[in-house]
Chains A and B, each alone.
Chain A
Amino acid sequence: MKRLWTIAVSVVFFVIFVVGSPIVTNASEESECFKCHSSAKKLIDATREIAKTKSTVKSAQSEGEG
């Protein structure tokens, strides 16, 4: 029984202090989000592609000071 306890405590210790908290992840670990959003080239390509399909949502007819 004592041996089982030692193994269990060791596993928990390993997970928390060596691997890192399973709850906490950071932006860099979400490689796809961060890889793209920190690459100007990828963003330029993506935003150009979006611009081709997206219709404008802002009217050019606004005039004067508001």
Chain B
Amino acid sequence: MEPLAPHEKIFVDSEFLEDENHGQIACVDCHGGNPDDPDWKTAHNGVVKDPTYPDAEKACGECHDEITENYKTSLHVSLRPYKLIMDQRATANSVVYNKLGCAMEKNCSSCHSSCGQCHISRPESVEGGFLEGHLFTGKPPMQEVCTACHGSRVQKEYFGDNEGVQPDVHKAKYMKCDKCHSGEEMHGDGKEYDHRYAVENGPKCIDCHDEIYDKNAENVITHRIHKDKATCQVCHSQGYKNCSSCHVADDEHGNSFYKTKRSWLDFKIGLNPLKSEKRPEKFAVLRHVPIDKESFEFYVKNGLDNFDKLPTWKFATPHNIVRKTKQNASCNSCHGNKDLFLLEKDVEASEKAANKGVIVPDSMIPRNQKWQPK
């Protein structure tokens, strides 16, 4: 996505005044500043660029009270799972921990959203700029908002931009993000979730594909056999992007930057790290995330002393679902096919301890099948 020119980012369309709701609110009421000052430089003293972050109550709460009430629990705003995950990996030393917190704040916390950064402008993490001259958009445009941030993985997977990988079948049906990820999910429901996969109103394949276990459904036997044994993605997703060894630091001007050592396309089935009553499957697709034991070394030594507490191969739901995949072409495309599974040899020596719970032992790889469903 091309960034906007600086003046385009802040150009207000006169049509905005025709918005009978928002167009009637004085600029100063949300953004502050001094509209009576004829000098534009001093008139902008005290201006708040995004009055909806971190608290949307003042700007949006009067009319959208229910949404703003839950707003702070939206994972796009709170980034709670990131913080919890880092807390688990972080050192117990409070001095070192505080330094780690500062490093995270500087490098990771800017990747958030807000009411304004979905419905009025592009997110700040992709350099912002009004979507349509400050007009309010009910449904955020997919490519300027959703995949502007979720680009490396979701966008490339969904649009089929990874070499040799088909686009998601839902893309081919012209479905946009909001078809599965509802406004209710995005806005938060008032509950503090530890993980994005714990969000109760998050999408589930079965919400739409509820007929797959019906007696007369196509492939019913296969679906019934694998129910609660493998997540949908194990059979229906394709190769996806994995990253490793992200390091953050400051350049000579004090501006932060990141470098990831490598990224690669892969497909690995591992033991489900989120196994629970709600997610009982034994096998899940796993993606290598870019965290490294020394990701924050520039700022603080040994910040991630408890690195091995969580796997670096994490539960994943690649957005490149298709009906027929290499691994579901026949039973034995998967059963007995060691290449598909995350084995000890696939994990770097320094990460073996972290991933011991998700590596598939040889004895657990499903055996070749003589019987094939008709």
Contact assessment for B152 and A34 in the assembled complex, using a CB-CB cutoff below 8 Å: no
In the complex, whether B329 has a CB less than 8 A from a CB of chain A is no
Cα A65 to Cα B13 with chains together (Å):
35
Identify the interface centre among B11, B127, B262, B290: most chain A CB within 10 Å of its CB: B11
**How far, in Å, is B180 (CB) from chain A's closest CB?**
23
In the complex, whether B345 has a CB less than 8 A from a CB of chain A is no
Selected interface stretch from B199-207, B252-260, B347-355, B365-373: B252-260
Selected interface stretch from B25-33, B74-82, B218-226, B301-309: B25-33
Residues on the B chain within 8 Å of A50, using CB: 6
> Which chain B residue lies CB-closest to A39?
B11
5 contacts between A and B (CB under 8 A): A38-B13, A43-B10, A58-B127, A58-B255, A64-B246
Which B residues have a C-beta under 8 Å from some C-beta of A?
A: 5-7, 10-14, 16-17, 23-28, 33, 35-38, 40, 43, 127, 134, 152, 241, 243, 246, 250-251, 253, 255-263, 290
> Which chain A residue lies CB-closest to B26?
A25
Residues on the A chain within 8 Å of B33, using CB: 33
Contact assessment for A33 and B259 in the assembled complex, using a CB-CB cutoff below 8 Å: no
Residues on the B chain within 8 Å of A25, using CB: 26
Chain B interface mostly helix, strand, loop or mixed? mixed
- Size of A's binding interface in residues, CB under 8 A: 34
Residues on the A chain within 8 Å of B17, using CB: 26-28, 34
Residues on the B chain within 8 Å of A33, using CB: 27-28, 33, 35, 43
Interface residues of A in 36-66 (CB under 8 A from B): 36-38, 40, 43-44, 46-48, 50-51, 55-66
Residues on the B chain within 8 Å of A64, using CB: 243, 246, 258-263
